[in-house]
């Protein structure tokens, strides 16, 4: 199969996604698509992406729907399905109007049927895809869905190899970055309303190959796709949905690191308010495997921790690892104690912020679930 050959050919992430998109379209025709690499531990989109037939402004509504709206075929749900593929028509019983995403986004862009896929190896998802057809076109067939399921592991394997094989870009010259953090402020609807000079300087320095959420903002800097996801995730968490906001680390054009974090404010009556995105130069950090030594986690605790960080309930972890529920409960309590975390949210934040994201672009891997 051509896609399998491509995925085993050692292509870099950008080229791989471009080639895979072309081959997919030959077998499963579509009129619009978004395909992106993902962090297998958070399912957040990372720095390889292909968008075709979609306007740049759609990123904001897209991530709002993914994290905040009650809807069908969320990627986190698809990632846990054996096939990892489902159409919107299948999920809604043929009534697309039941989907908020169809009403608020797809229909307005002239799209009707939609197929989504989580490209996974085992239960590790390395890329996601959203394929769309124009209104009036037929739904994706069973044969087409089966094809997407068939190539899922090939694409995931290829993307995993591409990500783990990446090198840091050659540092040509030191960046002139501010010493302190900058802040970008979004209103309660997720619209960018202000930015400090420090934040603008950092964002203007980002590697131009980094996927962005559209054209340059009115402030003259691009907004990285990862930043849009962080803001949406922070708003979702403030509304009581989803995991706490993580942080991401991006590169500048000259190879320096930038750390981005987001937090949602609250109004005096406790309602979610605006969101602050902080951006600061990030020094090189220790590699993620040092988390094991830092907290002295056993093999069993490492496996349990990886699943906890991805949102699995203890009962699900027990089933996946083939352990007794009591044994998993003991490991959970031990991990929380060793890491000084009061709950799963603090554990996830501590692991990602302190150990994983600073090392992500160096090609290392975090704790890996069995």
The pLDDT score that the predictor gives to residue 259 is 83
Band (367; pLDDT cuts 50, 70, 90) = very low
pLDDT at 184 over 90: yes
- What residues have CB less than 8 Å from 322, skipping those under 6 apart? none
User: Helix 325-339 crosses helix 344-351 at what angle (to 10 degrees)?
Assistant: 60
Q: Indicate if 47 and 160 belong to the same structural domain.
A: yes
Closest CA to 249 of 204, 305, 206: 206
- The dihedral region occupied by 284, where left means phi > 0, alpha psi between -120 and 50, and beta the remainder, is beta
Q: Indicate if 153 and 19 belong to the same structural domain.
A: yes
The pLDDT score that the predictor gives to residue 119 is 96
Residue 7: other Cβ atoms inside 10 A: 25
State which of 204-213, 221-230, 291-300, 355-364 shows the largest mean pLDDT.
221-230
* Least confident window among 122-126, 170-174, 256-260: 170-174
Distance, CA of 68 to CA of 233 (rounded, Å): 8
Q: Tell me how many domains the chain contains.
A: 3
Mean pLDDT of the chain: 82
Q: What is the pTM of this model?
A: 0.63
The percentage of residues in the chain with a pLDDT greater than 70, rounded to a whole number, is 83
Q: Indicate if 78 and 217 belong to the same structural domain.
A: no
The pLDDT score that the predictor gives to residue 352 is 55
- Is 369 part of a structural domain of the chain? no
Band (175; pLDDT cuts 50, 70, 90) = very low
- What residues have CB less than 8 Å from 41, skipping those under 6 apart? 306, 309, 310, 352, 356, 366
- Is 336 part of a structural domain of the chain? yes
Q: Indicate if 304 and 274 belong to the same structural domain.
A: no
Last residue of a domain, one of 106, 135, 164: 164
> The domain spanning residue 357 has which CATH number?
1.10.10.10
The pLDDT score that the predictor gives to residue 338 is 83
- Is 41 part of a structural domain of the chain? yes
Q: Indicate if 12 and 146 belong to the same structural domain.
A: yes
> The domain spanning residue 96 has which CATH number?
3.30.450.40
Q: Indicate if 200 and 325 belong to the same structural domain.
A: no
Cβ-contact 252, 221 below 8 angstroms: no
Q: Indicate if 20 and 109 belong to the same structural domain.
A: yes
Band (26; pLDDT cuts 50, 70, 90) = very high
Look up the domain containing 300 and give its range.
290-362
Q: Hunting for tokens 């608020």 — which residue is that?
A: 104
Query: Which tokens in the block code for residue 2?
Result: 């051509």
According to DSSP, the residues that pair with 185 across neighbouring strands are 194, 276
Q: Indicate if 25 and 148 belong to the same structural domain.
A: yes
Q: Indicate if 151 and 260 belong to the same structural domain.
A: no
pLDDT at 110 over 90: yes
Q: Indicate if 328 and 231 belong to the same structural domain.
A: no
- What residues have CB less than 8 Å from 51, skipping those under 6 apart? 33, 34
- Is 174 part of a structural domain of the chain? no
Residue 187, helix vs strand vs coil: coil
DSSP, res 8: T
* Least confident window among 21-35, 131-145, 295-309, 356-370: 356-370
Last residue of a domain, one of 164, 199, 223: 164
pLDDT at 105 over 60: yes
* Tens of pLDDT, residues 139-153: 999 999 999 999 999
Q: Indicate if 272 and 336 belong to the same structural domain.
A: no
Closest CA to 154 of 173, 194, 126: 126
Q: Indicate if 255 and 308 belong to the same structural domain.
A: no
* Tens of pLDDT, residues 237-255: 888 887 666 677 787 877 6
């Amino acid at each position: 199969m051509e896609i399998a050959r491509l995925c085993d050919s050692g292509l870099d992430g950008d080229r791989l996604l471009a080639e895979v998109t072309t081959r997919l379209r030959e077998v499963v025709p579509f009129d619009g698509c978004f395909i992106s690499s993902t962090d297998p531990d958070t399912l957040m989109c990372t720095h390889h992406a292909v968008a075709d037939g979609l306007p740049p402004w759609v990123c904001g509504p897209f991530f709002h729907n993914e994290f905040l709206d009650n809807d069908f075929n969320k990627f986190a749900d698809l990632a846990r399905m054996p096939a990892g593929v489902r159409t919107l028509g299948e999920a809604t019983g043929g009534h697309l109007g039941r989907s908020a995403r169809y009403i608020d986004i797809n229909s307005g862009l002239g799209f009707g049927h939609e197929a989504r896929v989580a490209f996974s190896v085992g239960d590790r998802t390395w890329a996601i895809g959203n394929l769309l057809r124009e209104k009036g076109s037929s739904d994706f067939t069973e044969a087409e869905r089966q094809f997407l399921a068939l190539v899922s592991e090939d694409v995931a394997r290829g993307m995993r190899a591409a990500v783990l094989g990446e090198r840091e870009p050659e540092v040509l010259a030191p960046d002139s970055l501010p010493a302190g953090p900058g802040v970008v402020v979004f209103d309660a609807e997720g619209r960018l309303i202000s930015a400090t000079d420090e934040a603008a300087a950092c964002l203007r320095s980002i590697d131009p190959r980094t996927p962005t959420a559209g054209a340059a903002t009115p402030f003259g800097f691009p907004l990285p796709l990862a930043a849009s996801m962080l803001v949406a995730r922070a708003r979702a968490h403030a509304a009581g949905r989803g995991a706490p906001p993580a942080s991401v680390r991006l590169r500048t054009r000259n190879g320096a690191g930038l750390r981005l974090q987001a937090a949602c404010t609250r109004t005096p009556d406790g309602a979610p308010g605006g969101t602050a995105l902080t951006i600061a130069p990030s020094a090189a950090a220790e590699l993620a495997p040092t988390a094991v030594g830092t907290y002295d986690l056993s093999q069993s605790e490492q496996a349990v921790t990886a699943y906890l960080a991805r949102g699995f309930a203890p009962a699900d972890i027990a089933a996946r690892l083939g352990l007794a529920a009591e044994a998993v409960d003991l490991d959970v309590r031990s991990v929380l104690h060793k890491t000084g975390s009061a709950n799963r949210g603090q554990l996830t934040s501590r692991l990602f912020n302190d150990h994983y994201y600073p090392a992500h672009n160096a090609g290392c891997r975090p704790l890996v679930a069995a």
